[in-house]
């Protein structure tokens, strides 16, 4: 009590201890008294701290609760009784575990339940009692169900977790997914874990289909996009109207949200290209080795498993990403923005319609917009790769939230163009203009222009500045440039800024090597360009610079899957493992090793054994034996 008092005093809140016994609930007069006392305390802004009056009642005997009625001998039951008595909206029961698991926490398959319905009780196996307090989880659940019947919702959550202490109660009140929520009503949509499991199972069937069948699904989806145009556009109109009426979206966002017959046609065209790429993705033999006589090893491409793609307003992402997943035999969870909910629902229905033609309808799932990204990232055992498609802020947030799940994407595109002393004037103007101005919001647009010192006070320098003026590009001077000029533009706040607009940083370097060092220090290893006529300098730059894309005399805007000729672009990655730079379909594939023997053992190759390793490379061209149609 002293501690409660001291803590609440920090918030200028008074507390009052109230001690009760069983009788206070059983006799109407006493119940009435208790009720008015508590109501009066709350009216006066005094927080009642309630406990059993241990001094006058016998000590609690666990598990001696009456059938159907609960006593108040343990605090869980007391809390339940009080909550119902006071007609509380919500009872929060804090424990030392995260909530209710379907089997004792720590066992093989124990899974935390987000929501628990009274009807599900038979699916739970309880363990031995928790270390804290009497009662254990079973008693807590009993009390919670009792309160639920009385009209009070209940959350059982962890109150001891140092990370959330102090936030757990506000999180619960704000409706976040914390602990286990006891509810009478099953929600409309399926549970996320269930969706993921269904997607994985259906995805395995999808992966085992003949590539032709995966292509057929994608082609059908492309056809549905044009055939069912009216349905799609009607749903899109609902989203657009809602967005316009609420006025929450900016013009640029509205443009991305809106679909048109032309957009749908070009989308369908893109899907047909992906259908072609699907022919040669899963089951490709990358390596074939005769390990020994009758022992043959193949390394073949296989899907990664379950992908989670998170995208913002753009609904055209949905069929495109679905086609990529289908082409690579991956299961897919899609999480789109609220703004496009209606359009996404229709597009997802069409995708499932196409998938149904080969019995894999559930391989692509649309995740409810109510699910938080943080909740999705918790599923680290069920999701194999997250692909955020959208602003770099979205990517950054997801990289932060994704604990243990790899994320494919670049969080920043701080691209540099370095103008060497021996650069051609025309190429400089052409490439710098294209890199900065063609589409300044793109991640492969130039953010920093580095110029060799010898160019200062030359006509080329003036022409660059003139071009920027014509194109209305705002220049931020780096410290060296500022120190060289008498009147310089405003100094850059950071040499690591991603403007994403008609703005850029401009800085002077003494040499190609200094340009490389500058880019290593301030760049994001996305795409960096050198402009020079000196082949030796160019090749040095291309070799020394450690970025995903390094270009010579070409615009940074070429860093793009379509422009690279990869067929379809999954994204651009600045990660250093798996895929790097513009990523095509192969970024959605991994490999497995298939070894076919005839009773071979490792002991056969030991000193006492009779066999020798051959490790003979075999051609990989032949069709894969295992790539049969299993349906």
Binding to a second copy, residues 561-580 (CB under 8 A): 563-565, 576-578, 580
Does position 47 interact with a second copy (CB under 8 A)? The reply is no
Distance CA 594, CA 576 (A): 27
Total residues at the site for a second copy (CB under 8 A)?
A: 94
Which of 233, 231, 220 is closest to 263 using CA atoms?
Answer: 233
Does position 130 interact with a second copy (CB under 8 A)? The reply is no
Does position 438 interact with a second copy (CB under 8 A)? The reply is yes
Residue from 544, 611, 618, 620 binding a second copy (CB under 8 A): 544
CB nearer a second copy, residue 265 or residue 590: 590
- Beta-bridge partners for 288: 298
CB of 148 to a second copy, least distance (A): 31
| Contact string 404-433 vs a second copy (x = CB under 8 A) | x-x-----------------x-xx--xx-x
CB of 596 to a second copy, least distance (A): 5
Tell which positions 247-286 bind a second copy, by CB under 8 A.
Answer: none
Distance CA 531, CA 425 (A): 10
The two most distant CA atoms of the chain are separated, in Å, by 98
CB of 384 to a second copy, least distance (A): 5
What kind and span of H or E run contains 20?
A: strand 14-20
Q: What's the angle, vertex CA 364, arms to CA 361 and CA 368, rounded to 5?
A: 115
Distance CA 159, CA 109 (A): 24
Q: Of the ranges 11-19, 332-340, 370-378, 491-499, which one interacts with a second copy (CB under 8 A)? A: 491-499
- Whether the CB-CB separation of 507 and 450 falls below 8 Å is answered with yes
Distance CA 150, CA 89 (A): 11
Does position 600 interact with a second copy (CB under 8 A)? The reply is yes
CB nearer a second copy, residue 35 or residue 627: 627
CA of residue 120 relative to chain centroid, distance: 30
Residue from 45, 602, 608, 619 binding a second copy (CB under 8 A): 602
Does position 581 interact with a second copy (CB under 8 A)? The reply is yes
Tell which positions 56-115 bind a second copy, by CB under 8 A.
Answer: 107-108
Tell which positions 159-178 bind a second copy, by CB under 8 A.
Answer: 162-167
CB of 540 to a second copy, least distance (A): 7
Residue from 211, 336, 523, 582 binding a second copy (CB under 8 A): 582
Q: Of the ranges 20-28, 56-64, 341-349, 535-543, which one interacts with a second copy (CB under 8 A)? A: 535-543
CB nearer a second copy, residue 42 or residue 603: 603
Tell which positions 200-239 bind a second copy, by CB under 8 A.
Answer: 204, 208
- Whether the CB-CB separation of 144 and 138 falls below 8 Å is answered with no
Q: Of the ranges 31-39, 172-180, 456-464, 546-554, which one interacts with a second copy (CB under 8 A)? A: 546-554
- Whether the CB-CB separation of 451 and 487 falls below 8 Å is answered with no
- Beta-bridge partners for 494: none
- Whether the CB-CB separation of 499 and 447 falls below 8 Å is answered with yes
Distance CA 316, CA 389 (A): 12
CB of 558 to a second copy, least distance (A): 6
The dihedral over CA atoms of 224, 225, 227, 228, expressed in degrees to the nearest 10, equals: 90
- Residue 196 has φ and ψ, to the nearest 5°, of -65, -40
CB nearer a second copy, residue 145 or residue 572: 572
DSSP conformational letter for 191: P
Token pair for residue 180?
């286990």
CB nearer a second copy, residue 224 or residue 327: 327
What kind and span of H or E run contains 572?
A: strand 571-573
Q: Of the ranges 190-198, 266-274, 293-301, 447-455, which one interacts with a second copy (CB under 8 A)? A: 293-301
């Amino acid at each position: 009590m002293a501690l409660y008092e001291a803590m609440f005093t920090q918030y200028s809140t008074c507390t009052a201890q109230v001690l009760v016994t069983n009788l206070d609930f059983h006799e109407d007069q006493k119940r009435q008294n208790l009720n008015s006392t508590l109501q009066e305390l709350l009216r006066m802004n005094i927080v009642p701290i309630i406990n059993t009056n241990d001094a006058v009642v016998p000590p609690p005997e666990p598990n001696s609760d009456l059938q159907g009625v609960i006593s108040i001998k343990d605090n869980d039951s007391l809390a339940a009784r009080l909550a119902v008595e006071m007609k509380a909206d919500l009872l929060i029961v804090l424990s030392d575990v995260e909530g209710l698991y379907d089997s004792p926490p720590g066992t093989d398959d124990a899974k935390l339940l987000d929501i628990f319905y009274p009807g599900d009780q038979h699916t739970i196996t309880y363990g031995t009692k928790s270390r804290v307090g009497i009662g254990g989880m079973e008693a807590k659940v009993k009390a919670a169900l009792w309160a639920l019947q009385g009209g009070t919702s209940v959350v059982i959550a962890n109150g001891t977790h140092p990370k959330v202490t102090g936030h757990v109660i506000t999180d619960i009140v704000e409706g976040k997914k914390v602990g286990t929520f006891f509810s009478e009503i099953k929600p409309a949509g399926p549970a996320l874990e269930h969706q993921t499991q269904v997607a994985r199972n259906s995805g395995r069937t999808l992966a085992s289909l003949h590539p032709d069948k995966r292509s057929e699904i994608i082609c059908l989806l492309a056809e549905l996009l044009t055939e069912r145009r009216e349905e799609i556009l009607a749903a899109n109109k609902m989203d657009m109207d809602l967005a316009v009426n609420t006025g929450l979206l900016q013009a640029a966002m509205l443009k991305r949200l809106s679909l048109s017959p032309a957009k749908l046609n070009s989308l369908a065209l893109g899907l047909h290209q992906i259908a072609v790429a699907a022919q040669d993705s899963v089951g490709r033999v990358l390596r074939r080795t005769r390990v020994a006589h009758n022992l043959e090893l193949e390394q073949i491409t296989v899907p990664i498993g379950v992908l989670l793609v998170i995208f913002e307003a753009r609904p055209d992402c949905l069929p495109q990403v679905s086609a990529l997943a289908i082409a690579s035999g991956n299961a897919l969870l899609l999480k789109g923005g609220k703004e496009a909910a209606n359009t996404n629902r229709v597009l997802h229905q069409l995708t499932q319609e196409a998938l149904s033609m080969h019995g894999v309808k559930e391989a692509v799932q649309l995740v409810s917009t109510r699910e938080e990204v943080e909740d999705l990232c918790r599923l680290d055992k069920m999701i194999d790769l997250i692909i955020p498609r959208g602003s770099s802020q979205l990517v950054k947030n997801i990289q932060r939230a994704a604990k243990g799940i790899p994320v494919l994407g670049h969080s920043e595109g701080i691209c540099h163009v370095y103008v060497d002393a021996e650069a051609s004037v025309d190429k400089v103007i052409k490439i710098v203009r294209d890199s900065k101005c063609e589409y300044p919001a793109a991640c492969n647009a130039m953010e920093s222009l580095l110029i060799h010192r010898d160019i200062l006070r030359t006509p080329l320098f003036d022409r660059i500045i003139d071009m920027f003026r014509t194109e209305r590009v705002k220049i931020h001077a780096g410290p060296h440039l500022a120190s060289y000029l008498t009147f310089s533009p405003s100094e850059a706040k950071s040499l690591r800024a991603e403007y994403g607009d008609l703005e850029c940083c401009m800085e002077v370097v003494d040499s190609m090597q200094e340009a490389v060092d500058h880019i290593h220090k301030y760049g994001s290893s996305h795409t960096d360009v050198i402009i020079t006529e000196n082949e030796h300098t160019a090749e040095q730059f291309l070799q020394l610079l450690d970025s995903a894309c390094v270009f010579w005399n070409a615009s940074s805007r070429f860093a793009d899957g379509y422009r690279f000729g990869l067929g379809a672009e999954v994204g651009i990655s600045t990660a250093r493992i798996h895929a790097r730079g513009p990523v095509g379909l192969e970024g959605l594939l991994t490999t497995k090793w298939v070894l076919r023997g005839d009773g071979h053992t490792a002991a056969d190759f030991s000193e006492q054994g009779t066999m020798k390793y051959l490790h003979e490379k075999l051609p990989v061209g032949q069709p894969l034996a295992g790539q049969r149609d299993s349906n």
